[in-house]
Amino acid sequence: MSANERDNNALAAAVTAAGQERLGAELAALYQRLEVELSPLDARCQGCGKCCDFAAFGHRLYVTPIELAELVRQPPASRQGAAVLRCPYQVNSHCTAHDRRTLGCRVFFCRLGDEQAHRLYERHHAELRALHERAGVPYLYVELTEALGRLGRSA
């Protein structure tokens, strides 16, 4: 078995383990705590969709197996995302996975300062990593379009 096949199998196994219903509830609670912190910051998505075009915006979105398990409960809307480094859950400027979007999506706002977003991300990502440890789900940190491609969920 090649290293790539081992990586793909490890990711698939981690996502399967992460798909436990109780983990979805714990992830939702983590996201809710983040929303409470974001509320006074007036950080709202304007729905322009620019951040979902990873190549054009010059950034990448990384996810963990627990986030990925929640996200892939519904297949991506676009089958081209991985090929063009664009979120395959975006249709025009609309996020078709808004209620299941990842931590990285939840702290990325065009108008929120990078330092402020970074602090929020780091604090809540530490909680996410601890959730992986408590649940016995291997912690992996993989770029979204790569992860979806490895799982056979996009082009």
Say what the pLDDT of residue 155 is: 43
Helix (H, G, I), strand (E, B) or coil at 62: strand
Boundaries of domain holding 28: 3-150
Say what the pLDDT of residue 30 is: 95
CA-to-CA distance for 10 and 7, rounded, in angstroms? 5
Say what the pLDDT of residue 128 is: 94
Q: Which parts of the chain register pLDDT below 70? A: 3, 18, 43, 78-83, 109-113, 153-155
CA-to-CA distance for 33 and 15, rounded, in angstroms? 23
Give the predicted TM-score (pTM) of the model.
0.84
Say what the pLDDT of residue 24 is: 87
Note whether residue 140 is domain-resident: yes
Q: How many domains does the chain have?
A: 1
Note whether residue 155 is domain-resident: no
Say what the pLDDT of residue 153 is: 67
Note whether residue 131 is domain-resident: yes
Centre a 10 Å sphere on the Cβ of residue 71 and count the other Cβ atoms it contains.
22
* Angle of helix 3-18 versus helix 114-135 axis, rounded to 10: 80
